[in-house]
Amino acid sequence: MEMLEIPLAISLLVFGWATFTTVFTRNKNNKKLSNEIVNRPENRQVELKKKVTRLLIDILFTTVLLSLSIIYFIFNPNPIISLILLFGLFQLILEMIKRIIVFTSLRVYYEEELNSLYVLTVFDVKKYPLAEATEIEIHSRVDVLRLFPLFTMFNSTADFTTEMGRTVKISFPGEKVFINIPENQLEIIDRDSSDISEQKESTDAINEKEVLPFYHRKNLKRLIGKGYFAVTVKGVGAYATLLLILSLLNVEVWIKITAIVVFWIFNLLISDRIIKIALDVEKITDEEVLEVGRKIFKRANLPNITLYQTETADFNGFAAGANIGRSIITLTTETLKLPLEAIEGILAHEAIHVKKRDVLIGQLMRFVSMGIVIAIIFLFKDFFEKQTMVLYFVVWILMMIFPAIYSLFTQWMEVRADHLGATLLDDGNVQMANSLKQLAMKQDEAIENSEQYNIDDEKENSSDKKMSSINRDKWFIRLLEFQFFSHPPMYWRIQSLEESFCNWDRKKLKNWCVDRFKESIPDKVIKYFAK
């Protein structure tokens, strides 16, 4: 092992341990709480059928997707890159181990008096009040292409499926639960509840949906698209494989670089198609939303924008596609539940991202920044041959600087989209500020609801203070949000809109730069120097 590989290996061990403790975090009262639920006479166990086939499919997908990086590691054309690839492998392997443990330890109980499901695993004890369910749907089989973590961008889904048969999807505020409840016990979810009574009155039954097997010919495009998304967007396996092939062919460095760049450009050009498949998007059919979209896009002079929706418990909206003529704007199903004025503000914000080609610019900045870091590793490796520790620390400093620089550009684009987007709205800055406020408050509420499903004695005795992203936080949190996150803090974005005129100019850019610095410093320090 070369000298430079030693500190990288140490970092890998540290990262692996940190990832392990994060992935396998468990409630220390878990055993006590589980025993209490199991021993209550009023709770009856839901007899789950656990079939190893369900688990093997997840293992198969994980193995296939990881094999690209593993092959590179085995052939080992470059030890440094192999070690860097292991950082990602650690995370995915540990997640798969956790999935196996959850599968084997999963138990479900039902309490009739409270009309609640209790889901017990080694890691968590969760309570899902069925009266709070907003939708209940039965699928003919498990939709593994929707549930497999590497095949989607959102993580607000709780996968408790244990077989490939009929699956119940229960939508709660902040979380969607998928579970295999035996048919002879489905009466526990068939009780009336205040939130879904309307749905039941109109259908007289719980909605049922036909789901095709993932290997069905009609799912082939979806399977390939999601697999491609997993290895190119959520991982680097495709790039590692390309680099491996070029290394085995012993081609010149410039050919390798050219091939990587061409492959990246190709992925950028088809990004809108891949995102549509990965997120299982559907065209929005709500005529009121479409009319609002047409009005905004006409004002922005964007004639060819298609509106899509994707099902998730998150509140979000985003633009995709590097080409204005093929760009898409996607809203989550929860976002579509906001008032129409708020949806209009979100669409105006995303329309500016499309008009200014922010998707393309953002990817270019990411690619160039990462390219610079990788180039320094290779170009200066020989220069620092006898001072490998120096190079090691230089590389890690660059890796720390990279997200800060990337954040600088992405936040600039977000602030610009807020203020230019406001010019497309009838009520300007006021409407945009209210749109962001409603989006943030609903997302905070969803996160809080999701956390409340976890039963924890300590949480019950803790402060009742609710989280709020529209309130100014402590300075260290502000430092992280302003200097390393892709979006400025929501409280600042709303305040910036409320305290300025409806336009975008150098003064606003200057104000953002100043606030980005000042808000990252403790208030005591600012007051001290202001004396």
Active-site amino acid positions: 350
How many Å is the Cα radius of gyration of the chain? Answer: 25
What one-letter code names the amino acid at 326? R
User: Residue 22 corresponds to which tokens in the numbers above?
Assistant: 């994060």
Cα torsion through 424, 430, 433, 437, rounded to 10: -130
CA 144 to chain centre: 18
Dihedral (CA of 175, 176, 181, 184) sign: positive
User: Do 498 and 433 contact (CB within 8 A), yes or no?
Assistant: yes
User: Do 94 and 20 contact (CB within 8 A), yes or no?
Assistant: yes
Report the C-alpha gap between 358 and 486 in whole angstroms.
12
User: Which is nearest to 227 in space by CA: 280, 292, 286, 274?
Assistant: 274
Q: Exposure of 335 by Cβ count < 10 A (0-12 exposed, 13-18 middle, 19+ buried)? A: buried
Q: Measure CA of the first residue to CA of the last residue in the chain; give whole Å.
A: 56
User: Which is nearest to 41 in space by CA: 90, 109, 89, 96?
Assistant: 109
Element (H, E) at 128: strand 125-129
Report the C-alpha gap between 68 and 237 in whole angstroms.
5
Report the C-alpha gap between 260 and 378 in whole angstroms.
16
Count CA atoms within 13 Å of residue 45 on its CB side.
Answer: 10
Residue with tokens 């899509």: 308
Exposed e or buried b per residue across 291-311, where buried means at least 16 C-beta atoms within 10 angstroms of its C-beta: ebbebbbeebebeebbbbbbb
